[in-house]
């Protein structure tokens, strides 16, 4: 197990270095960053002064390793637009996005996994068809439209929940449902498919022949084996929720890191964009690593891969 974890850590480190280099190079894809910082109408002397001040006149690799050394220490420079340290700016916004992502994933898991198990227990029944219809609708409905419908019904008409802000837990109810409902269909269908495969296995028939209760067969023997691909999918979905919640944050006016990413891109705030891309990428890498370790604990055969 230790060797497996060390191999996965090494792979995660290599991926992290690759992502960090790509994140750094993004600053040059839109053109000369010195021109973007100096602004329109700047003279060549001003541009050269900016290039010298920010070190853009140095070789690319020298700039990259200097930036990486500062990033490892948590220093991403200052925001061009907000004129604040990027680390402080991101830290203030990231808590909202993390809270929203965790709530959304929790809602998706506690809803999708039981639905998948129940649908697998009664294949081709009304319950199964209803669960599949529920998942199809979840994938078909755009997040922005679903969010607006919830606001109209529960905030405007019924006045049960606030439409925006982050003042209390009530502000996160509708965003959690919108974000979690988008991830539910894939998790539910994968759970159902895994359970159907497992329930037709020999060890399930053996467990039933030994007199084990149906509940024990389903959850101890069946779900433990069927949940392995779901763990990997949940890790990917969690990374998406943290990095791709910009639409939900915009609809419900949640001042999180997703909305900050949109603001930074629109205002050409390159240091903030770099930091957010790197941080969101690290979320994907960390959650994928955690999923690999959990899967290895659930299925010892994966430790040799």
Which residue in the block uniquely carries the two structure tokens 């929940």? 161
- Max distance between CA atoms of the chain, in angstroms, equals 85
pLDDT class for 215, splitting at 50, 70, 90?
Answer: low
The continuous run of DSSP H or E covering 138 comes out as: helix 126-140
State the pLDDT at residue 152.
92
- Supply the pLDDT for residue 214: 66
Over residues 60-80, the mean pLDDT reads 85
Q: Which band of pLDDT confidence, cut at 50, 70 and 90, is reported for residue 133?
A: confident
Euclidean distance between CA atoms 280 and 242, whole angstroms: 7
Q: How many domains does the chain have?
A: 1
Distance CA 44, CA 35 (A): 9
Here the tokens at position 20 are 């960090």
| Average of per-residue pLDDT across 241-258 | 80
Instruction: Please tell me the predicted confidence (pLDDT) of residue 304.
Output: 62
pLDDT at 130: 86
Q: How far is CA 243 from CA 57, 60, 170, 276, in A?
A: 32, 27, 22, 9
Q: Which of 282, 286, 278, 303 lies closest to 86, judged by CA?
A: 278
Rounded mean pLDDT of the chain? 81
pLDDT of residue 105 exceeding 80: yes
Q: Are 117 and 223 in contact (CB under 8 A)?
A: yes
Using the predicted structure, report yes or no on whether residue 16 has a pLDDT greater than 60. yes
Q: 268-292: per-residue pLDDT in tens?
A: 788 888 888 888 888 888 888 887 7
DSSP 123: T
pTM here is 0.77
Give the model's confidence band at 119: pLDDT under 50 very low, under 70 low, under 90 confident, else very high: confident
In a domain, residue 190? The reply is yes
The answer to whether residue 121 sits within a structural domain is: yes
Tokens of 10: 């090494």
pLDDT at position 154, please?
92
In a domain, 22, yes or no: no
Judge contact between 128 and 119, C-beta under 8 A: yes
Residue 114 above 80 pLDDT? yes
pLDDT at 5 over 80: no
**143 assigned to some structural domain:** yes
Of residues 228 and 98, which shows the higher confidence score? Answer: 98
Is 36 a member of any domain?
Answer: no
Residue 41 in any domain: the answer is no
Greater confidence (301 vs 185) lies with: 185
Copy the structure tokens of residue 216: 């024990």
* pLDDT of amino acid 233: 81
Region for residue 43 given its phi and psi (left: phi exceeds 0; alpha: psi -120 to 50; beta: otherwise) = beta
- The 3-state DSSP class for residue 154 equals helix
Q: What is the pLDDT of residue 153?
A: 92
Nearest to 294 by CA among 238, 227, 236: 227
Is the confidence at residue 303, as pLDDT, over 70?
Answer: no
Q: What is the pLDDT of residues 232-247, one digit of tens each?
A: 788 878 877 776 677 8
Residue 230 is predicted with a pLDDT of: 83
pLDDT at residue 211 above 80? no
Query: Range of 262's domain?
Result: 86-267+295-304
pLDDT at 49: 83
pLDDT > 60? residue 305? no
User: Which CATH number do you get for residue 198?
Assistant: 1.10.3720.10
Residue 239 lies in a domain: yes
Given this model, what pLDDT does residue 262 score?
82
pLDDT in tens, 191-202: 888 888 877 777
User: Does residue 94 belong to any structural domain of this protein?
Assistant: yes
Mean pLDDT along residues 82-88: 87
d(CA 260, CA 273): 9
CA distances from 168 to 99, 173, 253, 254, 278 (A): 12, 10, 14, 12, 29
Task: Write b or e for each residue in 236-259: b if 16 or more Cβ atoms lie within 10 A of its Cβ, otherwise e.
Answer: ebbbbbbbbbbbbbebbebbbbbb
Give the mean model confidence (pLDDT) for residues 106-122: 87
Helix and strand element counts for the chain (H, E): 15, 0
């Amino acid at each position: 197990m230790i060797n497996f974890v060390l191999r996965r850590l090494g792979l995660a480190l290599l991926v992290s270095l690759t992502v960090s280099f790509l994140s750094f190079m993004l600053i040059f894809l839109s053109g000369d960053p010195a021109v973007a910082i100096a602004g329109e109408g700047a003279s060549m002397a001003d541009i050269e002064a900016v290039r010298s001040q920010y070190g853009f006149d140095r070789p690319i690799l020298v700039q990259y390793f200097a930036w990486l050394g500062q990033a490892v220490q948590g220093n991403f420079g200052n925001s061009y637009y907000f004129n604040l340290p990027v680390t402080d700016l991101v830290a203030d916004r990231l808590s909202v996005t993390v809270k929203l992502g965790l709530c959304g994933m929790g809602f998706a898991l506690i809803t999708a996994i039981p639905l998948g198990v129940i649908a697998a227990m009664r294949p081709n029944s009304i319950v199964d068809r209803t669960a599949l219809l529920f998942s199809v609708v979840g994938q078909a409905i755009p997040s922005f439209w679903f969010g607006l419908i919830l606001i109209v019904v529960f905030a405007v008409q019924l006045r049960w929940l606030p439409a925006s802000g982050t003042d209390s837990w009530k502000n996160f109810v509708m965003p959690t449902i919108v974000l979690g409902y988008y991830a539910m269909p894939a998790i539910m269908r994968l759970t159902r498919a895994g359970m159907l495969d497992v329930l037709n296995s020999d060890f399930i028939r053996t467990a039933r022949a030994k007199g084990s209760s149906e509940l024990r067969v389903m959850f101890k023997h069946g779900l433990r084996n069927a949940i392995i691909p779901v763990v990997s999918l949940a890790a990917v979905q969690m990374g998406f929720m943290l990095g791709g919640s910009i639409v939900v944050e915009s609809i419900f006016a949640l001042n999180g890191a997703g909305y900050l990413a949109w603001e930074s891109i629109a205002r050409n705030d390159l240091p903030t964009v770099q930091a957010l891309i790197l941080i969101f990428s690290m979320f994907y890498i960390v959650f994928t690593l955690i999923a690999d370790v959990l899967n290895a604990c659930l299925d010892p055969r994966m430790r040799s891969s």
